[in-house]
Amino acid sequence: TLILVTPLKMRAAELEPVFCDRWGKDKVRCSPYGGAWSVPLDNGLKFQCMTDERANRMRFMIGVLRVRNAPAEFLRRVLEANFHSALDAKYAVFGDVLWSTYMHPLSTLTIEGATDAVDQVVRLAETTGTSFSSSDLVYVGHADGEVAEGAGRLTAEEAFERVTAAVAESRIAREAEDDAAPDHFCDPVTFELMEDPVQTPSGHSFERTSLLVHIAEFGNNPFTRERLDPSQLVPNRSLKEAIDKWREERALGEG
């Protein structure tokens, strides 16, 4: 007699222990509406997880750096890495940010697979500018290990340093702002202070980039799970003004 065994489907809540085992329960922050987690990392980056059980999707991601002033050759190395040294984790650019990310149907994901995916996303973010690798496989680029730029040449490490030096100081300041900001000034998914808050038809407010990332993957409101299109988003000007005022008062207090 042939017995067919239906594998158990992964539920979003089962991912939280994976994060707690790696970073400790005290560091893992869960959205009050469920389905999303955020973990501040020791290197100043932030790991994020977004899930949607109805859409059967999940995403792990880390925003590595802003790409507005990134050398073109550096970005080319990132794309090459997606071909042969980033494995299941991949680089992506969205909202002027270079992301280390992993996407998978939620129901068929396993605990072992999720654990490995977290490792890869973190490793890929950490090795950006060096091996550009999500595993022990070493990125093999130009034979001389250099990136041409103008009349001179930059190693991958030098290109990475050139990009990150401009944002390192602002990242430290931003983290201090995030910690000091009132909760209703922070994005409910990433827990970061909002710069461009938008409001959904349900009345919830999000950072525009954070919400667009979610909509691009799941196509719905992270809280109500109702279908949501970017055209339905409305700038929350009153919240923006309140945040700007809080920032100004905080700057005056520190000065």
Is the pTM above the cut of 0.85?
A: no
Q: Residue 241: CB partners within 8 Å, gap ≥ 6? A: none
2/144 Cα distance (integer angstroms) = 58
| Residues paired with 147 in a beta bridge | 154
Q: Taking a C-beta distance cutoff of 8 angstroms, is the pair 232, 201 a contact?
A: yes
Q: Which residue has the tokens 């949607």?
A: 52
HEC profile of 3-22: CCCCCCCCCHHHHHHHHHHH
Tell me if residue 161 falls in helix, strand or coil: helix
Q: How many CB atoms lie within 10 A of CB 2?
A: 3
Whether 175 shows a pLDDT value over 70: the answer reads no
Q: Taking a C-beta distance cutoff of 8 angstroms, is the pair 86, 131 a contact?
A: no
232/148 Cα distance (integer angstroms) = 44
Mean pLDDT of 172-193: 77
Q: Tell me: the pLDDT tens digits for 112-165?
A: 999 999 999 999 998 888 888 998 755 444 434 444 444 344 555 665 665 566
The CA-based angle 110-191-226, given to 5 degrees, is 65
pLDDT at 149: 42
* Average per-residue pLDDT for the chain: 82
